[in-house]
Structure 1
Amino acid sequence: MAKKTSNKTLPLPLYDELLKLDQDVFVSATAYDHPTYLTDNMVHTFRYYQEDALRFFHNSQTLDQFQYRHPNHVLFNMATGSGKTDLMAGLMLYLFHEHGYQNFLFVVNTNSVLNKTIDNLTNPQSDKYLFQQSIEIEGERIRIEKVSQYPRQPQENVIYLKLASIQSVFNDLFTQRENTMGLTDYSRHKVAVLGDEAHHYSASTKKEKEEEKSWERAIDLILAAHPDNRLLEFTATIDLDNKNVYAKYKDKIIYRYTLDRYISDRFSKNVKRIQSSNTDLDNMMNVVLLSEFRRRFALEYHGSQIKPVILFKSPKIVDSNEAEVKFKELIIQLSAEKVEDFIRFRSRISDDEQSETLSRAYQYYLANEDDLPQIVREMKRQFSPSRIINANDSDRGAGMLEKGQYEALNSLESPSNLYRVVFAVAKLTEGWDVLNLYDIVRISDTENAKGTKTSTMAEAQLIGRGARYNPFELEGEISYQRRFEDDGRDSLLLETLHYHTVNEPQYLKNLVAALNEMNLPTGEDKKNPLLEVKIKPSFKRTKLWKEGAIYYNEKVEVDDTYYDNLAKYGIDNQSDITLNWKFTAKEVTYRSNQVYEDYRDTHVVAVELDKRYFVKAMNRLTFYHFSNLKKYLPQLESREAFLGEQWLNISNRTLYAVVPAMFSRKDFKAEEKLEILEQYLMEVAKKIQTGYQKAIGTNKFIGYPIREYVADYRKRIPNYDTSSMRLLDKPDPQQVSRHIIKEDFFVYDSTIVNLTEKQLIDRIAERVSELKEEYEHVYLIRMDENMHRESVKSDALKLYQFGEKVRERRFEAFQPDFILLLENTDQYLQIFIEPKGINLLEKEQWKEDLLMYINSHQADLVFEDQVDGLAIKGLRFYTMNDGRSTMNQLSKMTLGKSFKSLSLEN
Structure 2
Amino acid sequence: MLYDEFNSHKNFSGADVFKNKALEKPEVLKNLNPAFSVREYQKEALGRFYYYCEEYHQKQKPIHLMFNMATGSGKTLIMAANLLYFYQKGYRNFIFFTRLGNIIQKTKANFLDPNSKKYLFADKITLGGQEIKIKEVDNFEGVNNDDINIIFSTTALLHSRFNFARENVLTYEDFDDKKIVLIADEAHNLSAETNNRHTQTEEEDRRNWENTVMRILNANSQKENALLEFTATARLEQEYPEILEKYKDKAIYRYDLKEYRLDGFSKDVRTLQINAPIMERVLSAVIISQYRRKVAEKYKIALKPVVMFKANRVSIPKEGISKEHNPQIVVSSIFKEAFHKLISELGEKHLKQQAVIKDVTLQKAFQFFNEQKITLADLVSEIKSDFAPEKCLTVDEDKDLEQKQILLNSLEDQNNEIRAIFATEKLNEGWDVLNLFDIVRLYDTRSEYKSKKGKERKPGKTTVQEAQLIGRGARYCPFTIGEFTDAYSRKFDNDQENELRILEQLYYHSMHNPDYISELTKVLVKDGIVPERTIKIEIKIKSDFKNSDFWKKGYIFLNSRKENLGKDVFALSDAKAEFDHNAEINIFQLPTREAIEKDLFVAGVGVGVKVKIEIRDYKIVDLGKHIVRTALAKMPAGRFDDLKKIFGNIESISDFISNEKYLGGIKIKVKGTSEQMENLLQVEKLDIAGFVIDKVLEIAGKERKEYYGTKEFKAHLIQKIFENDKVLQLDSESPRAQNMRDFDFTTREWLAQNEIWGTSEEESFLRFIDEAVTKLKKKYQDIALLRNEQFFKIYNFGDGEPFYPDFVLFLTDKKTKQEVMYQIFVEPKGDQFLDAQNTFEQSKESWKQKLLIEIEKNHTVDLKLENKDFRLIGLPFFNEGQVNNALREKFEEVFERQLLS
For residues 526 and 280 of structure 2, the distance between their equivalents in structure 1, rounded to whole angstroms, comes to 31
Residue number in structure 1 paired with 2:155: 166
For residues 22 and 138 of structure 1, the distance between their equivalents in structure 2, rounded to whole angstroms, comes to 31
8 Å Cα contact 1:875/1:890 also seen in 2: yes
Residue number in structure 2 paired with 1:660: none
Task: Report whether the alignment pairs 1:112 with 2:76.
Answer: no
Q: Which amino acid aligns with 1:196?
A: D
Residue number in structure 2 paired with 1:397: none
Report the 3-state secondary structure (helix = DSSP H, G, I; strand = E; otherwise coil) of the residue aligned with 2:529. Answer: coil
Residue number in structure 2 paired with 1:873: 874
Query: CA distance change for structure 1 residues 511 and 331 in 2, over 3 Å: closer, same or farther?
Result: same
Report the CA distance between 1:317 and its aligned residue: 2.1
Residue number in structure 2 paired with 1:187: 176
Residue number in structure 2 paired with 1:514: 523
For residues 616 and 513 of structure 2, the distance between their equivalents in structure 1, rounded to whole angstroms, comes to 77
Query: CA distance change for structure 1 residues 425 and 724 in 2, over 3 Å: closer, same or farther?
Result: farther
Q: Select the residue among 124, 143, 146 that pairs with 2:136.
A: 146
Q: Select the residue among 237, 240, 248 that pairs with 2:236.
A: 240
Residue number in structure 2 paired with 1:229: 225
TM-score norm. by structure 1 comes to 0.76
Equivalence map 1:553-702=2 (5 Å)? 553=559, 557-560=563-566, 562-570=568-576, 610=617, 626-627=635-636, 634-635=646-647, 645-647=660-662, 688-689=700-701, 691-697=703-709, 700=711, 702=713
Query: CA distance change for structure 1 residues 151 and 734 in 2, over 3 Å: closer, same or farther?
Result: farther
Report the CA distance between 1:131 and its aligned residue: 2.2
Q: Which amino acid aligns with 1:328?
A: H
Report the CA distance between 1:113 and its aligned residue: 0.7
Task: Report whether the alignment pairs 1:413 with 2:422.
Answer: no
Report the CA distance between 1:224 and its aligned residue: 0.5
Report the CA distance between 1:647 and its aligned residue: 4.5
> Unmatched 5+ residue regions in structure 1?
1-9, 348-353, 395-399, 580-606, 616-622, 655-679, 726-731, 788-793, 803-809, 900-906
Report the CA distance between 1:185 and its aligned residue: 3.1
8 Å Cα contact 2:162/2:172 also seen in 1: yes
Query: CA distance change for structure 1 residues 888 and 819 in 2, over 3 Å: closer, same or farther?
Result: farther
Report the 3-state secondary structure (helix = DSSP H, G, I; strand = E; otherwise coil) of the residue aligned with 2:91. Answer: coil
Report the CA distance between 1:122 and its aligned residue: 1.4
For residues 54 and 653 of structure 2, the distance between their equivalents in structure 1, rounded to whole angstroms, comes to 41
For residues 23 and 374 of structure 2, the distance between their equivalents in structure 1, rounded to whole angstroms, comes to 63
8 Å Cα contact 2:619/2:668 also seen in 1: no
Q: Which amino acid aligns with 2:471?
A: G
For residues 473 and 871 of structure 1, the distance between their equivalents in structure 2, rounded to whole angstroms, comes to 31
For residues 613 and 221 of structure 1, the distance between their equivalents in structure 2, rounded to whole angstroms, comes to 59
Q: Percent identity?
A: 27
Query: CA distance change for structure 1 residues 334 and 523 in 2, over 3 Å: closer, same or farther?
Result: farther
Report the 3-state secondary structure (helix = DSSP H, G, I; strand = E; otherwise coil) of the residue aligned with 1:406. Answer: helix
TM-score norm. by structure 2 comes to 0.76
For residues 20 and 681 of structure 1, the distance between their equivalents in structure 2, rounded to whole angstroms, comes to 45
Residue number in structure 1 paired with 2:675: none
For residues 25 and 305 of structure 1, the distance between their equivalents in structure 2, rounded to whole angstroms, comes to 35
Report the CA distance between 1:882 and its aligned residue: 10
Task: Report whether the alignment pairs 1:330 with 2:338.
Answer: no
8 Å Cα contact 1:60/1:70 also seen in 2: no
Task: Report whether the alignment pairs 1:135 with 2:125.
Answer: yes
Report the CA distance between 1:469 and its aligned residue: 1.6
Residue number in structure 2 paired with 1:480: 488
What count of residue pairs does the alignment treat as equivalent? 791
Q: Select the residue among 277, 282, 285 that pairs with 1:284.
A: 282
Report the 3-state secondary structure (helix = DSSP H, G, I; strand = E; otherwise coil) of the residue aligned with 1:513. Answer: helix
8 Å Cα contact 2:753/2:786 also seen in 1: no
Q: Select the residue among 211, 215, 232 that pairs with 2:209.
A: 215
Equivalence map 1:493-572=2 (5 Å)? 493-521=502-530, 531=538, 533-534=540-541, 536-538=543-545, 540-542=547-549, 544-545=550-551, 548-553=554-559, 557-560=563-566, 562-570=568-576
8 Å Cα contact 1:848/1:876 also seen in 2: no
Residue number in structure 2 paired with 1:742: 746
Cα deviation per residue 1:433-455 (whole Å; 9 max; x = unaligned)? 12110101112234748993332
Q: Select the residue among 468, 473, 485 that pairs with 1:466.
A: 473
Q: Which amino acid aligns with 2:724?
A: Y
Report the 3-state secondary structure (helix = DSSP H, G, I; strand = E; otherwise coil) of the residue aligned with 1:49. Answer: helix
Q: Which amino acid aligns with 1:330?
A: L
Q: CA RMSD in A?
A: 4.6
For residues 716 and 89 of structure 1, the distance between their equivalents in structure 2, rounded to whole angstroms, comes to 41
Q: Select the residue among 4, 26, 29 that pairs with 1:35.
A: 26
For residues 740 and 524 of structure 2, the distance between their equivalents in structure 1, rounded to whole angstroms, comes to 22
Cα deviation per residue 1:475-532 (whole Å; 9 max; x = unaligned)? 697822233345334343211111112332332222121111111226999xx99957
Query: CA distance change for structure 1 residues 710 and 145 in 2, over 3 Å: closer, same or farther?
Result: closer
For residues 565 and 369 of structure 1, the distance between their equivalents in structure 2, rounded to whole angstroms, comes to 53
Report the CA distance between 1:539 and its aligned residue: 5.4
Q: Select the residue among 73, 89, 98 that pairs with 1:82.
A: 73
8 Å Cα contact 1:532/1:713 also seen in 2: no
Residue number in structure 2 paired with 1:271: 269
8 Å Cα contact 1:783/1:817 also seen in 2: yes
For residues 639 and 39 of structure 1, the distance between their equivalents in structure 2, rounded to whole angstroms, comes to 33
Residue number in structure 1 paired with 2:783: 778
For residues 681 and 54 of structure 1, the distance between their equivalents in structure 2, rounded to whole angstroms, comes to 33
8 Å Cα contact 1:835/1:877 also seen in 2: yes
Residue number in structure 2 paired with 1:91: 82
Residue number in structure 1 paired with 2:260: 262
Query: CA distance change for structure 1 residues 324 and 884 in 2, over 3 Å: closer, same or farther?
Result: farther
Q: Which amino acid aligns with 2:802?
A: A
Q: Select the residue among 360, 366, 379 that pairs with 1:375.
A: 379
Report the 3-state secondary structure (helix = DSSP H, G, I; strand = E; otherwise coil) of the residue aligned with 2:803. Answer: coil
Report the CA distance between 1:750 and its aligned residue: 1.9
Residue number in structure 1 paired with 2:303: 306
8 Å Cα contact 1:799/1:814 also seen in 2: yes
Q: Which amino acid aligns with 1:228?
A: E
8 Å Cα contact 1:298/1:494 also seen in 2: yes
Equivalence map 1:336-351=2 (5 Å)? 336-344=348-356, 346-347=357-358
For residues 638 and 194 of structure 2, the distance between their equivalents in structure 1, rounded to whole angstroms, comes to 53
Query: CA distance change for structure 1 residues 837 and 385 in 2, over 3 Å: closer, same or farther?
Result: farther
Residue number in structure 1 paired with 2:164: 175
Cα deviation per residue 1:642-691 (whole Å; 9 max; x = unaligned)? 8984248886899xxxxxxxxxxxxxxxxxxxxxxxxx999988964553
Report the 3-state secondary structure (helix = DSSP H, G, I; strand = E; otherwise coil) of the residue aligned with 2:661. Answer: coil
> Unmatched 5+ residue regions in structure 2?
198-202, 316-329, 450-457, 586-613, 623-631, 670-691
Report the 3-state secondary structure (helix = DSSP H, G, I; strand = E; otherwise coil) of the residue aligned with 1:822. Answer: strand
Cα deviation per residue 1:828-882 (whole Å; 9 max; x = unaligned)? 5433222456666679945454335644785566566676694513131457999
Task: Report whether the alignment pairs 1:251 with 2:249.
Answer: yes
8 Å Cα contact 1:775/1:823 also seen in 2: yes
Residue number in structure 1 paired with 2:607: none
8 Å Cα contact 1:626/1:639 also seen in 2: no
Residue number in structure 2 paired with 1:54: 46
Q: Which amino acid aligns with 2:492?
A: F
Cα deviation per residue 1:189-214 (whole Å; 9 max; x = unaligned)? 21111111111111111129999952
